[in-house]
Amino acid sequence: MSFEITEFQQRITKTKQRMEKEGIDVLLLTDPANMNYLSGYDGWSFYVHQLVMVFIDEEQPFWIGRGQDANGAKVTTWLDENHIIPYTDDYVQSTVKHPMDFVCNILKEMGQTHLTIGVEMDTYYFTAKCFTQLQKGLPGAKFKDATNLVNYVRIIKSNQEIEYMRNAARIVEKAMWEGVNSIQEGVRECDVVANIYHAQISGTEWFGGDYPAIVPLLPSGERTSTPHLTWTDEQYKAGDPVILELAGCYKRYHSPLARTVFIGEPDPKVKYLADVVVEGLNATLDAVKPGVTCEEVESVWRKTIAKSGFVKESRIGYAMGLNYPPDWGEHTASFRQGDKTILQPNMTFHLIPGIWLDHYGVEVSESLRVTETGCEVFADFPRQLIIKETNLLEGA
């Protein structure tokens, strides 16, 4: 396991405290990151229905999932065999029965049919069918939305979690250099991404990498005007800006990083936008410290770039760390107007104040930890528009 049992027990205790405050008797967790956080379960089985079930009066949670994945639970979790409950394969993608029917039957066997049950209503892996089958199978239960209940437990990291994120930062440094150095006029975008993937998974001499929750995002040319495009099999051209948004991942903990490259003599408009983004990013990093709110941090960015005439209405960062596809974000605090979350030590964020205009864009980001007095930036990588003709790349 990636953590001592005592750390899992502490997480369970904090989760139960939130459950008690919300009046929840049993919590059904289908978010793979929350399942991992409380049980240690780690497998690519989230394409079928699975969950971790936490009772307010039970020491261990229960893992419920597909039968062929039960041994995976035995291998990766701290749970004893009595708390690993598999369902048979005829539940998988069936048109006549559903895994939540199985969950209902388990609760009936336990005599727990009139409880207040918390469910993660707004997660990727809890479907409308899941909810309707639970309602149908447990008509005496009261259901309550418990979206992000565990996410907010996760928002403050342990020292061990921080070490894993530092390892992820060493991986993303390597992957970013590999991507930047591979980008050349005439090189195919897909070949650059292949090199990035190799660096992400091979990791370092001391530890290997895991698969990140998001694939490398590498738009080029006019495609840099939007943030979430991947890559093509086209060749890079002189005069292209290229955005690289990547993450290192270690034991499911992430350290994202974004940089922008320009192939050839930089377009003055792109260079100016990059200067604005970097200046704003530096000022914002200086503002991060315990006791300030997320919206106060965002306001520093907003005021810093105001003189440039650029405006960014979207958030400039978000809490992140442990996760699975399709997102490394934690879905809790964001650096944006209206978010009054107070920063505390060992909160971790991806600060990404990218600006995307009609025909081009620039991203420069950092992942960070809130410290006792300010912030720790996880990765060590030049914070600037990277121009391929400079000597910057030779020392990578």
- For the chain, the domains span 5-154, 156-388
In order, the DSSP letters of 25-75 are: SEEEE--HHHHHHHH----S-TTS--EEEEETT-SS-EEEEEGGGHHHHHH
According to the model, what pLDDT value does residue 38 have?
98
Q: Domain 5-154, CATH 3.40.350.10 — does that match? A: yes
- What number is the average pLDDT over the span 233-243? 96
337 vs 314: CA distance, rounded Å: 9
- What number is the average pLDDT over the span 270-290? 98
So what's the architecture of 156-388 in CATH? Alpha-Beta Complex (3.90)
Q: Is 324 exposed, middle or buried (0-12, 13-18, 19+ CB in 10 A)?
A: buried
According to the model, what pLDDT value does residue 96 have?
96
Residues 20-40: tens digit of each pLDDT:
999 999 999 999 999 999 999
According to the model, what pLDDT value does residue 391 have?
45
Parallel, antiparallel or unpaired: strands 116-119 and 26-29: parallel
220 vs 215: CA distance, rounded Å: 16
According to the model, what pLDDT value does residue 1 have?
84
Q: Is the alpha carbon torsion for 169, 171, 174, 178 positive or negative?
A: negative
- What number is the average pLDDT over the span 41-64? 97
- What number is the average pLDDT over the span 339-367? 97
Parallel, antiparallel or unpaired: strands 253-262 and 386-387: parallel
